[in-house]
Amino acid sequence: MRAPRSDLALLLIAALLVSCGGERDWFGAADVLVNDPSTDRGNNTTQSETAVARHDDIVVVGYNDSGEFTRHNSLTGYAYSLDGGTSFTDAGVLAAVRGGRNLGDAALAVDREGNFYFATLAIDAAARSYVGVARSKKAKGEVVFEPPVLIPGLDPDGFQDKELIAVDASGGHRDGHVYVVWTEFPPRGPSRILFSRSGDGGRTFTPATRLSRSGTGVQGAMPVVGKRGELYVAWEDRSGVRAGYIKLRRSTDGGGNWDPEILAARFERLSDREATGACGRAALGGYIRVNEFPSIDVDRSEGPGEGNVYIAFAADPGRQARGDAADIFVVRSEDGGKTWSEPVNVVKGRAVTSGADETTNDNFMPALTVGPEGQINVFFYDRRNDPKNRKIDVYRAVSTDQGRTWANERVTAESFDVPPLNPNFDPLVKSCYMGDYNDATVDRSGFYLSWGDNRRLLRAPRFPRGRPDPDVRFRAVGLQP
């Protein structure tokens, strides 16, 4: 018997919460707190799953915000900076459509004119699941967004999940086109990767089309636009028992037609045995649920790597007997995604020439971006500074020779601990959830990173001695390590 629409709304919400300018002297400065903790309520204090976009001195950071959900029917929070990221204004949440709700999974992109596009999961007044895309509107001294345009999946009863967004900024004849990819979970049958596009600045979107042609556990799709407007979409396929796969498709006409599906990488999926057994899904120490979602970018420089495509992902390096459960790997294509290199470990091993991780501790949740001169930066969570393999830092791995060698550098000045996750301290969030991704972007001045950070301690009735509180932080770093 199918659930009534009023009940389905709650089921969909539960499904999300359960499953789901110029160079400045502040480069190298301390990171910045993005959200305003005073807006949290009780133990609904989780800010997670960040997204970031920048145009000139305007920076927008999106994130899940459990403290706002019960008051404003939107889990999709954001903050903005008008001074390049030295300070942020917590803007609350992205408003939902009338009678509907936003269910988080923030994603951001910006076009060359400075129009920001904010994607979110959403349901309408009839409790149907959609992907929503909101465009920023002109406003003096603040960043505000129009109501989201809702994009349906292929099945009206399917659940839409984990969307990401890209904008063509190539200057070509599709400049300004907006591309969205996501996962649909239909009521019956396997998940599938869907695609939609807008050629009118996000006012309307094409009907969804299916990109994935193989696999039974596809998720985590990410789009990126190259220097000449070529469009790539990468995603993870979890159909193996222990094996995982990165799949990719390319379009040279803005998503009208697509090249055949390509296998870009094969790997062993993440799984700390104790944590995974306790969480009932892939997890690392501290009961942090994890994934191997790809992070993809293209070299748009005029250097020797022009046109190269790079994908980063976390994977099991095959050394669990020695306690090594998670490292970061990168693969490279020099022919437009047709063929791919073998995965290169960017945190340890022969390819790491400086700052290598000498421990067997966890490295996970990467975000890859390519700089204006072909510099590849991969930001990730890292536990090398804690002998107990628990506390977390943000590190980056940098390559200036098309991914052949790498240097590691610490980004955070202070490690942070894991909040109580099993059970989760936040009653709106499922056990073992600490966010599923972080984000980074780049311009000609530097790299810009946003991430979930738990360094601030919060005392609450259930935790009189204090507990780590999930916030969002931002930092700008230079193009070179």
CA-CA distance, 428 to 142, in Å (whole number)?
Answer: 29
Who contacts 4 (Cβ-Cβ below 8 Å, separation ≥6)?
A: none
pTM for the structure as a whole: 0.94
Q: For residue range 118-171, what is the model confidence (pLDDT) as tens digits? A: 999 999 999 999 999 999 998 889 999 999 999 999 999 999 999 999 999 999
pLDDT at 320: 59
> Exposed, middle or buried: residue 301 (CB in 10 Å: 0-12, 13-18, 19+)?
middle
Who contacts 18 (Cβ-Cβ below 8 Å, separation ≥6)?
A: 430
Q: For residue range 50-106, what is the model confidence (pLDDT) as tens digits? A: 999 999 999 999 999 999 998 899 999 999 999 999 999 999 999 999 999 999 999
Q: For residue range 197-255, what is the model confidence (pLDDT) as tens digits? A: 999 999 999 999 999 999 989 999 999 999 999 999 999 999 988 899 999 999 999 99
E strand map for 82-177: 89-93, 101-110, 116-123, 129-137, 144-145, 149-152, 159-167
Q: Which of 386, 382, 346, 348 is nearest to 365 (CA)?
A: 382
> Could you state, in order of their start, the residue ranges of all structural domains in the chain?
1-23+44-161, 211-435
pLDDT at 36: 96
Helix (H) or strand (E) holding 312: strand 309-315
Q: Which two tokens stand for residue 75?
A: 């889990």
Q: Which of 88, 86, 87 is nearest to 78 (CA)?
A: 88
Q: Is the pLDDT of residue 11 over 60?
A: no
Name which CATH class applies to 211-435.
mainly beta
pLDDT at 314: 98
Helix (H) or strand (E) holding 9: helix 5-18
Which region, left, alpha or beta, applies to residue 75 given φ > 0 means left and ψ of -120 to 50 means alpha? alpha
Helix (H) or strand (E) holding 277: helix 273-279
Distances (CA, A) of 383 to 280, 306, 356, 391: 23, 33, 13, 6
Q: What is the mean pLDDT of residues 23-38?
A: 73
